[in-house]
A and B are shown apart, each in its own frame.
Chain A
Amino acid sequence: MSTPVMIEASHLTKYYGDFPAITDVSFSAQKGEILGFLGPNAAGKTTTMRILTGFMPPSSGAASIAGYDVVTESLEARRHVGYLPETVPLYTDMMVKDYLHFMGTIRGMEGKAIQRRISDVIQICRLEEYYKAHIAKLSKGFRQRVGVAQAILHEPEVLVLDEPTVGIDPIQVVETRQLIKSLGGERTIILSTHILPEVSMICQRVIIIHEGEIVAMDTPQALAERLQGAERIQLEVAGPMGQVVRTLRAIPGVQDVTFTDLGDRRSAYSVISRRGDEMRANLAKAVVEQGWGLLRLETVSMSLEEIFLRLTTTEEA
């Protein structure tokens, strides 16, 4: 039996006036998957999430949640989603317990089930002490927990979390990540972030979105390996820095060279090049042929950070 597809987006495009916020965005997520949505600010993450949660329809394309179209079967689709918007909007004039109760009822839960689930989520999100507190008096971190609590209250099959770890202190960030991870497996989670390590920590699959278009979609590991077949090689050379850089740049397959002066005629170079053993051989040969001293040469795997930057910054020649 194949795992059912819980989130399906096909060719989503959304215009704000003439401005395309997202263009032709397609992806899907299976049951139990944690999908990371990575991109700089204003890349179209929130727009995509708003479409998935049924807040607004796409200009063209279609999306479905648990098999229900978000436009034509919107109510049914919304029933299966828990949503935490980026700004964690809460009714600040309400008490935590009243707020959660309200969110439960408008999601169609029964009175008894609401009470039971509220005590569950209060525990899961560690809000015991704040059960009767006014939301206005809670710190950002605790508001975040209330936001998560309302999102999982009705045990939705799909969770949409927009930047769930922004603006809370480091300890809470760790806790939130653990919480999200523990929610996976049963639920399908799509979370957006611009924090890269977060993605490799919790997500099984990453979508990198830039200027409204998907630029890459893969597992964090595969993405790191795949990136245009590139790898990073670090060298330490004893020789005139300017000439070394020029020589390295001239080698076919080298995409970029950065360097630091270590003093004493030695400098370190970081070369991004085509993948393959012969690249390292060529680099070594070039250095040695010039009569410079090759002190060190090794490959370093690229971090997701670098991949992200390389994929999302428009490259200059």
Chain B
Amino acid sequence: MRNILSIAYKELVIYFTSPMAYVVAGVFLALTGVFFIDSVDQPFALASVRGLLRNTAFFLMPLIPPIMTMRLFAEEQKLGTLELLLTAPVRDYEVVMGKFMASFAILATMVLVSLFYVVVLIFYSDPDLGPVLSGYLGMLLYSSTTLAVGLMASSLTGNQIVAATVSFGIILLFSVVGNVSAVVGGAAATVLENLSLISHFEGFAQGVIDTSDVIYYVVMSAVFLFLTIRAVESRRWR
């Protein structure tokens, strides 16, 4: 655990010494602000953050996590620092988890800062807080899955652009995979629908915490983190 924390701490230091964290947070908060205004600036608008969270999941989550994770392994591979890191007495999974935790800490902070919009809602009206809390829980789970995807993509290459593109592709693919389910039909359709990142988020946005949705995001995160660990290990048998 100590190793995981020191690696996470190191990543945080790098996020904040480079302009990375500030730029990403700025873009994230600016866009969520637009989403929020858009959702309340309508006739008969509901005092909810459902629209904000949906738009965030659909537009920002394929974009922000790949950018945040692209350097985590790709840069170390390119700089050669991975060699020093992996010859220190740390286990491969500790490196992966440390990096994951650092990126999650930042994204989660940004997501939670957007709770400010909820404060605005409470100030002017009386929003139903149940769906707000479940929505934010869903958003955190969603973040963790997309970050895990990004981390895996980063571990496969020494090129950050390639890493970002691959993770962008995978996240988008899992976002829209449910849309093509009608074409295939039958059991395949059910599988595709259940693979969809977006469809599992609907419940949370509406205020329903379904165990299967929670498990979906946890399992997806775990699978991609596992693949990342294997990719880091692969230097041993390549």
Which residues of A pack against B, CB within 8 Å? Answer: 50, 53-57, 75-76, 78-79, 81, 83, 85, 87, 89-95, 98, 102-103, 105-108, 134, 150
Contacts and interface: CB of A to CB of B under 8 A. Distances in A.
Interface in B68-84: 79-84
Q: Which of A75, A81, A89, A103 has the most CB of B within 10 A?
A: A89
B81 A90 contact: yes
Given A89-B79, A91-B10, A83 B18 contact: no
B87 A54 contact: yes
Nearest to B6: A105
Contact of A85 (B3, B17, B84, B91): B84
Given A89-B79, A105-B6, A106-B3, A78 B17 contact: no
A87 B80 contact: yes
B90 A106 contact: yes
B14 A94 contact: yes
Contact residue range for chain B?
20 to 34
Contacts, number: 72
A93 B87 contact: no
B90 A92 contact: no
A103 B83 CA distance: 13
A78 B89 contact: yes
A79 B86 contact: no
B70 to A, nearest CB: 15
Given A106-B7, A106-B89, A107-B88, A50 B13 contact: no
A102 B87 contact: no
Given A94-B10, A102-B6, A89 B81 contact: yes
Interface in B41-94: 79-91
A102 B6 CA distance: 7
Nearest to A89: B80
A57 B9 CA distance: 29
Interface of B, helix, strand, loop or mixed by DSSP: helix
B80 A85 contact: yes
B88 A78 contact: yes
B236 A93 contact: no
Nearest to B16: A93
Contact of B81 (A50, A76, A91, A108): A91
B121 to A, nearest CB: 38
A134 B13 CA distance: 12
B88 A55 contact: no
A56 B6 contact: no
Nearest to B18: A93
A106 B6 contact: yes
Contact of B13 (A55, A90, A98, A106): A98
22 contacts: A50-B83, A55-B86, A55-B235, A57-B236, A75-B91, A79-B89, A83-B87, A87-B80, A89-B82, A91-B79, A93-B17, A94-B10, A94-B17, A102-B6, A102-B9, A102-B13, A103-B84, A105-B3, A105-B6, A106-B7, A106-B88, A107-B88
Given A94-B10, A94-B14, A55 B3 contact: no
Contact of B85 (A76, A95, A106): A106
A105 B6 CA distance: 7
A53 B17 CA distance: 30
A290 B14 CA distance: 78
Nearest to A84: B84
B106 to A, nearest CB: 15
Contacts of A76: 89
Interface in B2-49: 2-3, 6-7, 9-10, 13-14, 17-18
Contact of A92 (B13, B79, B82): B79
A171 to B, nearest CB: 26
A81 B14 contact: no
Contacts of A102: 6, 9-10, 13
Q: Which of B3, B6, B9 has the most CB of A within 10 A?
A: B6
A85 B80 CA distance: 8
Nearest to A92: B79
A81 B87 contact: yes
A1 to B, nearest CB: 28
Contacts of B79: 89-92
A280 B186 CA distance: 95
Nearest to A98: B13
Given A50-B83, A102-B6, A103-B88, 13 more contacts: A55-B83, A56-B236, A83-B83, A85-B83, A87-B80, A89-B81, A91-B81, A93-B17, A98-B10, A106-B6, A107-B88, A107-B89, A108-B89
